Amino acid sequence: MTNVDQNSPAIGEAETPGSFLGWRLWHWVPMPRIEFKAAQQTLSALVTKDLVLDFIERAVVGILFLYFANKMLPRFAWLIITEIAHPELLLLAASTNLDAALLVISESLAVFLILTRRTATIVSTRPLDWALSFMAVNAPLLAAPAPASTFMPSQIATALMFAGMIIQISAKAALWRSYGLVPANRGIKTGGPYRFARHPMYAGYTITHIGFLLGFPSLQNSFLYLIAFLIEVARLLREELILNKDPLYCDYAARVRYRLIPGVF
């Protein structure tokens, strides 16, 4: 007995256009559905949760930087115009606005690194971690202008702010493409200021805030910077919950015991 495909025309039976089309539709119609499902699976593999979260973080940082630039650029433009009109004020302006220039460099570097950083192996999906990160970034912006201190020499306050800025910038440069806001593992860095403390960037922020507070004290700013410091501490502890999953970080933490201030914490 000859085996005959039940879905094909019988042997010796003439293939009419209708039967040929039916055979083709029966065998070929399911194929696009299979290909579409495979495409969906490929797209899902490429567009992962971590990739979406990474895009959201970059978008939020970009918006915050545009807001920051919109507030700062007019002042810098006015300063440049004034210095061009009065060259004799250049040295005075440079010494007076050095901290502001370092702030612009620090924030611009942060945005550049976030936009060009490498993909994280793990990113926190906890709302608390995201909230702490963006609160830490925005809380210091709420500091209100205050009269200059009458009991603290301005040179000391300026020196502290300068030191804090330098520490921030050096920490960001050491992290380079591993830099980010939300807790994640983008590679363990142990060079530069990370040889002395596990979170030197946050130490730099704290020193800058102390310098500003000493130079322009107020009850409102004191309360604000205290809250900002507590947020930073909570933030770094949450970061370490993720980083401690990496054996390299555990080895690093065993060698560098202190998080913010060597010998203290």
pLDDT at 214: 92
Tell me the C-alpha distance between 118 and 245, whole Å: 19
pLDDT at 15: 46
Residues in the chain predicted with pLDDT less than 50, given as ranges, are: 1-21, 23-29, 31, 43, 45-46, 91-92
pLDDT at 97: 63
Q: Is 11 contained in some domain?
A: no
pLDDT at 250: 96
Query: Contact 169/112 with Cβ under 8 angstroms?
Result: no
How much of the chain is helix, strand and coil, in % rounded to 5? 70, 0, 25
Q: Which helix (H) or strand (E) holds 184?
A: strand 184-185
The residues, any chain, with a CB within 8 Å of residue 33's CB and separated by 6 or more, are none
Domain that holds residue 233: 41-255
Q: Is 48 contained in some domain?
A: yes
Nearest of 57, 30, 165 to residue 117 by alpha carbon: 57
The residues, any chain, with a CB within 8 Å of residue 191's CB and separated by 6 or more, are 174
Q: Where are the beta strands (DSSP E) in 49-123?
A: 122-123
Q: Is 263 contained in some domain?
A: no
Q: Is 90 contained in some domain?
A: yes
End-to-end CA distance of the chain: 88
pLDDT at 173: 94
Task: Kindly report the CATH number assigned to the domain that includes residue 147.
Answer: 1.20.120.1630
Domains identified in the chain, total number: 1
Q: Is 79 contained in some domain?
A: yes
pLDDT at 36: 53
Calculate the CA 170 to chain-centre distance.
16
Which residues is 185 bridged to in the sheet? 122
Q: Is 2 contained in some domain?
A: no
Identity of the residue numbered 251: D
| Sole residue written with tokens 């370092």 | 102
